[in-house]
Amino acid sequence: MDITTPPIAPEAGPALADAAPTPHEPPVIRREDYRPFPWLVPEVRLDFTLGLTHTLVEAQLTVQRNARADRAETIRLNGDGLAPLGVLVDGAPVDWHMDGGDCIVPLRGETHLITITTAIDPSANTQLMGLYASNGMLCTQCEAEGFRRITFFPDRPDVLSVYRVRMCGDKAAFPVLLCNGNKIAEGDNGDGTHWAEWHDPWPKPSYLFALVAGDLVANSRPFTTCSGRVVTCNIWVRKEDLARTDHALESLHRAMKWDEEVFGREYDLDLYNIVAVSDFNMGAMENKGLNIFNTKYVLADPDTATDADFDAVEGVIAHEYFHNWSGNRVTCRDWFQLSLKEGFTVLRDQLFSQDMRGEAVKRIEDVRILRAAQFPEDAGPLAHPIRPDSYREISNFYTATVYNKGAEVIRMMRSMVGEARFRAGCDLYFARHDGEAATCEEFVKAIEDGAGIDLSRFRLWYSQAGTPRVAVSQEVEGDRLRLTLRQSVPPTPGQPHKQPMPIPLRLAVHSRRGALGEERLIVLEEAEQSFDLPLAGPDPVVSINRGFTAPVIIERTLAREDLVFLAAHDDDPFARSEALQELAVAHLVGVASGTLAPDEQAAGEAAIIAAFASSLADNALDDAMRGELLLLPSETYLFEAMAVGERKADPGAIHAAREGLKAAIGAALGGELRALHARASAVAREDPAGRGARKVKTIALGLIAAADPAAAAALAAAQYDAADNMTDRQGALMVLAGLDCPEREGRLADFYARYRDNALVVDKWFSLQALSLHPQVIDHVRALAEHPDFTLRNPNRVRALHMAFAGNPKAFHAPSGEGYRIIADVILALDPINPQTAARFVPALGRWQRIEPGRAALMRAELERIMAAGKLSRDTFEQVSRSLEG
Ligand code: B3K
Ligand code: ZN
């Protein structure tokens, strides 16, 4: 589901940059201030006496001086909301003191044993960071800085320790006791409590610590590694969820095998545990040997999960597994290096999914996500390089830039050197830095040395924010084509001037008469550079950035017939879908900004309809790819394309233009779309072609609905009633939810009644109403926020209702400003409960500078209202203040 984050306008209100700092202004942490920690902590022993409302933690830290750091006479142990019950050094009390949340302990010698005791109430932990209670079980989330909410510790990723953990708790409440590594002992205390002791032989930073205690059952199946070791793999869930865990377990095995074959990485413990919890701030967490997952990315069966949900489970399971090497064996020196593990691991999971599901469609999907989530971020007030220079709250930097653009940057290196040399670079990286906390610079150096390439200028991709724009012009000279490329990287907050960066572009020069040119890779190094290329025939058409080799915006005005040619004939499937997108973007931005003459508008619409018609008729296409070719660019992406230079985005005009085009396509191709729907409906669920059929079925319904709502309502109701899987059922209900039709209410009520006991499906019920095209969606969202199943305490539920709503461009950007007010109210209500999740809503309001002045003023006013509300969390304060500064 597309989460929209709209753009902004500078004249819309006074800037807050000069305002006096609020008394609660949190400090700025800077990358340049990094210093090694003065102490090493080679060993940690933790002893937990577990209870839902009262847990006692005794920590023993073996510390020794770090010869590579400045000498210190104290040790700073980070804490957040903790009070030490006792602090001993080598068994004796010492004169410790607090500095903010941290505990400062004097240490004079070379090595010491620090013993420190804390008590916590997991049931009161609504932030879901540290140790918290969820559905009667106890679990942890420590990345980035949650461990300091459990015990006092140097809670930074460059302090690596071997952990030994003992946990004791009530046998009935917590029959299963899990931690990182291997279980080395367990026993019964004979008083209704039991205990287990775990040892993780691999040194790790505190953010990878995990503990789970609860009433869980496992789906278990061994995996034999390439060297013949047998690894027990368990997926732990509540008993009632066990039947929906096979896909997760199979995905894990596939990921383990793929990482051996493609990256030469073998798993390194005898046990791999995954636990699913329903209260979780994000998707999943890669704790060593004990991944903790949001249930959304574990549980799947055809009745309750869509095909897209199945893919997401496979992708996230793989992502967390791949972190075992890219993140755990080699971790980050500091949090500015986050993309070292996240960008690399996203690339690895994308390559895995490409291999599992087909390269072309997966690449198109990944680029769509990048454009919908990362391009707007890079063009707004929260833009930052993939390796940021400063932050106030690191949780705010788990962004599409660090993750998805980070993956694109590494993918570019891979494209430039080829698969084999990239693999050599990765091997060198893992060999050089195994067991260390490394930097992005060290990663680039390893690729440089291992792959044999000079990446000096390429490093700019790590330090410069903003999406580069590449302007293309061409000239024919005899039998050659002279292609001239000009790059510019737009200014971003704190970075007014940029340098040109190496931009690898796969391209081919086709002839519109039919001959396809050979593909080659060029690297644009300079601000402006020309390339002489052979012609394949007359009327050359350049197919550029094939496969999306670089995360850039290509600026060119290609004749409509050239785009139609590429959309129908390009031999690169990505380029083919891209030509259609280009055709649609140019047309829709033209219509929305009122710059097209009526005959141009008619010609543009006719060309798009013709391209859609040929995608519908092309028997060489499979339905999965056909589906991609039948999707128009998202409204978020169209905002970006409209807000160029002085021109602002007009969400209302974009929505109207896009819906108008959908209606024109639906009207012109109604017969073909109905035939497609009928053909796809006849494909059985188990048929290998079933997936693609389900995808095009709902896309066809959406286009028919835009032109003929009554016909679409009847078809959707029939699809809903006949559905034997969630993809069809949800797809049909999504279309019905957007229509003011008699079929709507009954199906929505049926869906809720059918699945009311399944939280993940109830989330879908909230989302599809919040995302709908229905004219009363704002009233629906207000009513749903009062529904007995709605709670601000469960992040999945808040995201299902309010994040979906913020991603519904028509409703969120209602000219009255009501959409903005709903989201601002949620931020204010959620901030004291769960600041991390609250802050995630701010970017939706934050892009006011690139939006038309009326809405921009309303968005800005909501941000100011949040700011004025007083004591905000670090998370929300940082996002709101940056959004106001622009
Ligand atoms: N590393 C975690 C994300 C942690 C987010 C903390 N706010 C999941 C992942 O990216 O694999
Ligand atoms: Zn990750």
**For residues 211 and 139, is the Cβ–Cβ distance under 8 A?**
yes
Which ligand has an atom closest to residue 297 CA?
1
Query: What architecture is the 756-886 domain classified under in CATH?
Result: Alpha Horseshoe (1.25)
pTM: 0.97
- The stretch 45-70 carries a mean pLDDT of 98
Could you identify the atom of ligand 1 that is nearest to the CA of residue 281? 7
- Asked whether the CA dihedral 878, 829, 832, 398 is positive or negative, the reply is negative
Tokens linked to 655: 């929505």
Give me the residues paired with residue 60 across strands: 45, 115
Q: What CATH fold (topology level) applies to the domain 330-463?
A: Neutral Protease; domain 2 (1.10.390)
Cis peptide leading into residue 717 (ω within 30°): no
Q: What is the number of the ligand closest to the CA of 280?
A: 1
- pLDDT band at residue 9 using 50, 70 and 90 as cut-offs: very low
Q: Give distance in angstroms: CA of 143 to centre of ligand 1.
A: 7
Give the 3-state DSSP-derived string for 390-452, with helices as H, strands as E and coil as C. EECCHHHHCCHHHHHHHHHHHHHHHHHHCHHHHHHHHHHHHHHHCCCEECHHHHHHHHHHHHC
Atom 3 in ligand 1: residue holding the nearest Cα: 285
CA 321 to ligand 2 center in whole angstroms: 9
Assess whether pLDDT exceeds 90 at residue 13. no
Q: Which atom of ligand 1 is nearest to the CA of 394?
A: 7
Nearest CA to ligand 1 atom 8: 285
Distances (CA, A) of 268 to 197, 272, 799, 861, 886: 20, 10, 35, 53, 46
For 327: left if phi > 0, alpha if psi spans -120 to 50, otherwise beta; the answer is left
pLDDT at 31 > cutoff 90: yes
Instruction: Please choose from 280, 320, 339, 398 the residue to mutate so as to test ligand 1's pocket, defined by most ligand atoms within 8 A of CB.
Output: 398
Q: Which atom of ligand 1 is nearest to the CA of 320?
A: 11
Ligand 1, atom 9, residue with closest C-alpha: 285
Residue to mutate (ligand 1; options 286, 291, 324; most atoms within 8 A of CB)? 286
The alpha carbon of 285 and the centre of ligand 1 are apart by a number of angstroms equal to: 5
Looking at this protein, which amino acid is placed at residue 252? Answer: L
Q: Whose CA is nearest to atom 5 of ligand 1?
A: 143
What single DSSP character describes residue 801?
I
Residues with CB under 6 A from ligand 1: 143-144, 282, 284-286, 319-320, 323, 342, 395, 398
Of all protein residues, whose CA lies closest to atom 10 belonging to ligand 1?
342
Order across the sheet with 92-93: list the strands: 92-93, 86-89, 111-120, 55-65, 39-49, 161-170, 193-204, 182-188
Average pLDDT score over residue span 548-558? 97
Q: Which of 128, 129, 143, 287 to mutate to test the pocket of ligand 1 (most atoms within 8 A of CB)?
A: 143
What's the pLDDT tens digit per position in 277-321?
Answer: 999 999 999 999 999 999 999 999 999 999 999 999 999 999 999
Q: Is the pLDDT of residue 688 over 50?
A: yes
Instruction: Go through 209-234 and write b for each residue having 16 or more CB atoms within 10 A of its CB, e for each that does not.
Output: bbbbbbebbbbeeebeeeeeeebebb
Q: What's the Rg (C-alpha) of the chain?
A: 28
Average pLDDT over the chain, rounded to whole? Answer: 96
Centre of ligand 1 from the C-alpha of residue 330, in Å: 16
What pLDDT digit, counting tens, does each position of 327-358 carry?
A: 999 999 999 999 999 999 999 999 999 999 99
Question: Atom 2 (ligand 1): residue with closest C-alpha?
Answer: 285
CB atoms within 10 A of CB 38: 19
Percent of the chain with pLDDT over 90: 97
Ligand whose nearest atom lies closest to the CA of 347: 2
Q: Atom 7 (ligand 1): residue with closest C-alpha?
A: 395
- Domain borders along the chain are 29-215, 330-463, 756-886
* Ligand 1 centroid, distance to 365 Cα (angstroms): 21
Q: Name every residue whose Cβ is closer than 8 Å to that of residue 571 and which is 6 or more positions away in sequence.
A: 508, 516
Distance (angstroms) between ligand 2 centre and the Cα of 288 equals 13
CA neighbours closer than 13 Å in the CB half-sphere of residue 282: 21
In this structure, are strands 480-488 and 528-534 parallel, antiparallel, or unpaired? antiparallel
For the stretch 619-631, pLDDT in tens is: 999 999 999 999 9
Confidence of residue 870 (pLDDT cuts 50, 70, 90): confident
Phi-psi region of 274 (alpha: psi -120 to 50; beta: other; left: phi over 0): beta
Q: How far apart are CA 692 and CA 796, in angstroms?
A: 28
Residue 320 annotated to the active site = yes
Give the distance (Å) from ligand 1 centre to CA of residue 341: 10
Domain 29-215 listed as CATH 3.30.465.10: no
- Among 320, 628, 640, 862, the one annotated catalytic: 320
Is pLDDT at 11 greater than 70 in this prediction?
A: no
